[in-house]
Amino acid sequence: MTETSTRKTEIRTDGAPTPIAPFSQAVRIGDLISISGQGPQDPATGAYLHQGDLAAQTRRTLDNIRAIAEASGGGFDDIASLRVFLTERDHFAGMNEAYGDYVREHCPSGVYPTRTTVFVTLPHPDMLVEIDALLVLGGE
């Protein structure tokens, strides 16, 4: 983590893609962590994975979020909310299935994050999905 002020701390990890624009992978203020939108990029190369494979893209995107959550000192089970951005309405069922499998595997508490899903145009033609997250640490 990199201290940027007394209130706000930037979180970075090699386990998720490095941003190509002026934004942080995540920012912590107190016990609240805001994770920037992640896509299906390989963190080592920055390449978009599994072109056209929505389930694989969803899992890779969630892996990137999990890596950032862990770098923040928490885990996937600490995520309070996820926002899913899809390029096509027809992708909802495939994303939902991959998402459900992933969340059940990585939320041992059985209390799953809230979720919103919207349909948009994403910034890269190979991206079928982008997901951002809100994580809360340190309390009941």
What tens digit of pLDDT does each residue of 49-97 get? Answer: 767 789 999 999 999 999 999 999 999 999 999 999 999 999 999 999 9
pLDDT over 50 (residue 4): no
Q: Which domain holds residue 43?
A: 2-136
**Full-model pTM:** 0.91
Which contacts (CB < 8 Å, 24+ apart) does range 19-27 have? Answer: 20/46, 25/68, 25/71, 26/68, 26/71, 26/72, 26/135
| Pairwise CA distance, residues 17 & 8, whole Å | 21
Number of domains within the chain:
1
Per-residue pLDDT of 33-50, as tens digits, reads 999 999 999 999 888 876
Give the up-direction half-sphere exposure of residue 75: CA atoms within 13 A in the CB hemisphere.
8
Does residue 91 contact residue 54 with C-beta atoms inside 8 Å?
yes
Confidence of residue 140 (pLDDT cuts 50, 70, 90): low
CATH number of the domain at 33, please.
Answer: 3.30.1330.40
Is 126:48 a contact under the CB 8 Å cutoff?
yes
